[in-house]
Structure 1
Amino acid sequence: MLNFKKTSLHYEAYINSEKKDWIVFFHGFGGNYSIFNRQIEYFKPDYNLLFIDLPGHGKSPDLTNNENILDYTSRKVVELLDRLHINQVHLIGVSLGTIVIQDLAMKFPKRIKSMVLSGAVGRWLWWGETLGKIVLSFPIRNMLPYMVPFVSFAHILMPKRNHKKSRDFFIKEALKLGQNSYLRWLYIVKDAHQIYSKLKQQVNKIPKLYISGDEDHMFLQGIVKHARKEESAELTILEKCGHVCNIEQSSQFNLISRDFVTKYSAV
């Protein structure tokens, strides 16, 4: 396992063999790479693994300048791949991580072999989008501690009893996030649907698998529409599962993800 701290993005790398393909994992809003604990042992025997904490999350420092945080993240991810001498990768992301993956797909398509987008974030239902606009309005965003709306959003996105483990994880980890990172990333999540419009404007034939839970009420409807319109996309919907499939239905998620990645891996 490699863990180099002298980088702007904290990461952990598990190296199996130089001959094995690499999978890079991206966590969700407020979390860190430990959300993939159920995936590490499963994927380690067959792949090299790279887990990255997004800016302001986990042990990665927050962005201190005014650069767009999504542009910054994609650039730093590719710089990290270059530093580790990794040419092409498979990408697996959850929630916010799926936005980062799609941004990478637009800017660096030749570096990507396949993409797995779990709990993908697209257009919010109208009332979720309205709530986001209220939270980001000038008086509210400066008056409320960020954990107040974050906890509310967590309960809205993951309301059921079987979502509790995922919900509790993100609330606990978000305590480390900070107001600045919270607001920067919330703007990205609020406008996530725009990335799909941009993707349509370019030919993007990277193999893509959407994995969503049938109880992911905020985003499922929109993601189903996107998946049907994308030539290179597949969609799997897991039963009795909410927004964070890799925790709630980890066994199914692991099997489906590995089967998909294997189809596009080196022989």
Structure 2
Amino acid sequence: MTPDLLFHKTYTHSSSKEWVVFVHGAGGSSNIWFRQIKAFKKHFNVLLLDLRGHGESAPLKTKSLLPSRYTFKDVSQDILHVLDHLAISRAHFVGISLGTILIRNIEELAPERVKSMVLGGAVTQFNFRSAFLVKLGDMFKHVMPYMWLYRLFAFVLMPKKSQSLSRNMFIRDAKKLCQKEFKRWFKLAGDVNPLMKFYKESRTKTPLLYLMGEEDHMFIGPVRESAARHPSAQLQEIADSGHVCNVDQAVTFNQYSIDFIQSQISIDVEPQQEADIVLRR
């Protein structure tokens, strides 16, 4: 049986054949990319989607996507089904927060589909504070309204006044989740460290750009270590920005991302041009 498709929206470019797929984080929606759309669609075809149970991919509209427990493989396959439906064979992926783990998982499941990865506010490991928060949430998720927990996480991740827009967007979108849906996604948090330990030991060859806010105190340390270990990875730290750096400093985020993706396109094009010259000879 063909699986239900996630809600998705495309912006097609008049001449470019390159696709950029945006993947949001847990509790959010494709609305988080509102400051990226205008800049990216000038250069590329753009695909936005809402993860299962989020945004317009709400439970009532996607019942067949809702088992009792989610896995990163299941949620990653949802995204690949959308690419298959749209006949997108390869794409560049841009993610934020938990969406960065899904992109890494897609790259592991189907590396031939991923041309490059831009991972904003990347989650590569839970440190003591973030692991403690997850443990605390796990203890109280059955007795405490999920929005209380989500607000707590949002304020811990994005505590500064300058991060209020990012924080409020995440809280607003999370209100669309139901309690059961929140629990399904929350259980995924327990799989983060084992999965990322695997990626730590398995070096990717896919071009990778980490974009991290300098004030992303929860996750920037492990990302620095990860970037130093992987030859194919680059790291750019964005000043005056927290975890959701694509909102806090959108212009800088867009410039770094677009420049990086275009550089990878030029690398792909050059060998083909050389092959064409040889054939003409």
TM-score, structure 1 as length reference? 0.92
Give the unaligned 5+ runs of structure 1.
Answer: 1-5
Cα 1:132–1:165 shift into 2, 3 Å: same
User: Does 194-203 or 148-157 show the bigger shift?
Assistant: 194-203
In 2, are the aligned partners of 1:119 and 1:213 still within 8 Å (CA)?
Answer: yes
Equivalence for 1:170: 170
Cα shift at 1:56: 0.9
SS at match of 1:142: coil
Equivalence for 1:99: 101
Q: Give the Cα separation in 2 of the matches to 1:249 and 1:19.
A: 26
Cα 1:170–1:157 shift into 2, 3 Å: same
Q: Does 1:45 align with 2:42?
A: yes
SS at match of 1:198: helix
Cα shift at 1:72: 1.6
Equivalence for 2:154: 154
Q: Does 1:12 align with 2:14?
A: no
SS at match of 2:76: helix
Name which of 45, 52, 55 aligns with 1:55. Answer: 52
Give the unaligned 5+ runs of structure 2.
Answer: 60-64, 270-281
Equivalence for 2:121: 119
In 1, are the aligned partners of 2:70 and 2:185 still within 8 Å (CA)?
Answer: no
Cα shift at 1:99: 1.0
In 1, are the aligned partners of 2:133 and 2:153 still within 8 Å (CA)?
Answer: no
Equivalence for 1:145: 145
Structure showing greater radius of gyration is 2
Q: Give the Cα separation in 2 of the matches to 1:203 and 1:49.
A: 28
Cα shift at 1:201: 4.4
In 2, are the aligned partners of 1:109 and 1:204 still within 8 Å (CA)?
Answer: no
Cα shift at 1:263: 1.1
Q: Does 1:29 align with 2:26?
A: yes
**AA matched with 2:36:** Q
In 1, are the aligned partners of 2:100 and 2:119 still within 8 Å (CA)?
Answer: yes
In 2, are the aligned partners of 1:117 and 1:209 still within 8 Å (CA)?
Answer: yes
| 1:196-239 deviation per Cα after TM superposition (whole angstroms, max 9, x unaligned) | 32224445200000000110001111111111111210000011
In 2, are the aligned partners of 1:158 and 1:242 still within 8 Å (CA)?
Answer: yes
Q: Give the Cα separation in 2 of the matches to 1:102 and 1:247.
A: 22
Cα shift at 1:19: 4.2
Cα shift at 1:191: 3.6
**AA matched with 2:125:** R
Equivalence for 2:83: 81
Cα shift at 1:134: 2.1
SS at match of 2:259: helix
| 1:141-190 deviation per Cα after TM superposition (whole angstroms, max 9, x unaligned) | 21101001100000000000111000011111110011222222223234
Q: Give the Cα separation in 1 of the matches to 2:227 and 2:82.
A: 30
Equivalence for 2:279: none
Percent identity, please: 38
Equivalence for 2:272: none
Question: Aligned pairs, how many?
Answer: 260
User: Does 17-26 or 227-236 show the bigger shift?
Assistant: 17-26
Cα shift at 1:195: 2.6
Between Structure 1 and Structure 2, the one with more helix by share is 2
Cα shift at 1:18: 6.3
Over aligned residues, Cα RMSD in angstroms?
A: 1.7
In 2, are the aligned partners of 1:8 and 1:76 still within 8 Å (CA)?
Answer: yes
SS at match of 2:142: helix
